[in-house]
Amino acid sequence: MIHSPPAFHVEPGGVLRGNLRVPGDKSISHRAIMLGALADGVTHISGFLEGEDSLATLAAFRRMGVDIQGPEAGRVVVNGVGVDGLKAPDGPLYVGNSGTSMRLLAGLLAGAGLEATLTGDASLSVRPMKRVLTPLFAMGARIEPSPEGTAPLHIRPGGALTGIHYDMPVASAQVKSALLLAGLWARGETCVTEPAPTRDHTERMLAGFGYEVRQEPSRRCLRGGGRLRACPVEVPGDISSAAFFMVGAAIAPGSDVTIRHVGLNPTRLGVINILRAMGADIETTETRLVGGEPVGEVRVRYRPLQGIAIPVDQVPLAIDEFPALFIAAACARGITRLSGAAELRVKESDRIQVMADGLAVLGIAAETTPDGLIIEGGEPGGGTVDSHGDHRIAMAFAMAALGAREAITVRDVANVATSFPGFVGLAAGAGLAIAEAS
């Protein structure tokens, strides 16, 4: 018997209310496993995201000989093997839908000089890898991608890598992180210059593990040959997951939501900055440092939104949150214009085209450009939207029902579990009339 992929069915209207806590930050969860495995000593992680992407990273390091206990209620214990203690896996490392796992592991494994093959699911296997492979090749890495420059990636051992000074043509935290991780083993200094700020979780966490990273306004440098010391890691709530509830509260009259223990890293605040520029009533409070990461609460109350030209300097700071932000634009008065976001076309889906197609189903005019989208706001209707297996698009269109006239069905939502296990229960508890269907 053939089963159709799961779907969301969401009734229109509703109000979001309550105090919520979203799952742990995916980016930090990945890096905590990686650096904990490479450290000397035992790393205790709390708040770990038990989603498919970060579990794929955890499984990969188990395959490389790292003793990892958990996860259990977000707690993980990593018994580090040191920078020279990883073992070559006995078969391919499958990382599912996780681009972060594949790109960061490409740098880490090339640096460590291990033989391994990185594979992923159908979606990840068509995502471009050239932008991370090109600088790794310049460091001396031996990596064989498919003829199309995609996964699987066959990593071959060779001599020690050589540090390089690399100017990234496009801002990418994954590329930056892959090169810094490769640089842990490289001869000399590895420096990465970024054209715009990107999330800096790798640099912060390396410092927390006692590894010196020289940080300049647009450049990050480290020298190979050092050691990492185990330390506790507390993973805050993921602002990318919180973004769906921020947008939901911003578009649904009467809404008042507080999201607790959210990561408020300055390199991730684009979604808040953009929503505020659109007129959203957003308050951040109780900011404190947890393991080097700013953490606090975000309160969002409904207020009518206005379309804007999204500042280009905010694009790298909100790159994963644009599916949700496009829903805010669809419910705002006037026109919202986004440019400088060509990166969105090579995510889990072509997020520019897939979002435009879905908005058209709901009766919202959305004109695509090579690097962005122009959305004429209004009141969305209803209909059936195809998420193309993209977790963030699935959750964004679910939240769109809060501002819609009619019910919305979102197809192909299984991959929501990659980043937000428990999304349906949390959203329903907050007031979204959502149900899973097949």
The owner of tokens 């991370």 is: 132
**C-alpha dihedral sign at 283, 286, 289, 293:** negative
The owner of tokens 């435009």 is: 356
Give the 3-state secondary structure of the chain.
Answer: CCCCCCEEEECCCCCCEEEECCCECHHHHHHHHHHHHHCECEEEEECCCCCHHHHHHHHHHHHCCCEEEEEECCEEEEECCCCCCCCCCCCCEECCCCHHHHHHHHHHHHHHCCCEEEECCCCHHHCCCHHHHHHHHHCCCEEECCCCCCCCEEEECCCCCECCEEECCCCCHHHHHHHHHHHCCCECEEEEECCCCCCCHHHHHHHHCCCCCEECCCEEEEECCCCCECCCEECCECHHHHHHHHHHHHHCCCCEEEEEEEECCHHHCHHHHHHHHCCCEEEEEEEEEECCEEEEEEEEECCCCECCECCHHHCHHHCCCHHHHHHHHHCCECEEEECCCHHHHHCCCCHHHHHHHHHHHCCCEEEEECCEEEEECCCCCCEEEECCCCHHHHHHHHHHHHHCCCCEEEECCHHHHHCCCCHHHHHHHHCCCEEEEC
Residues that are catalytic? 320
Sequence letter at residue 15: V
Tell me which residue of 161, 200, 168, 165 sits closest to 184, measured CA to CA. Answer: 161
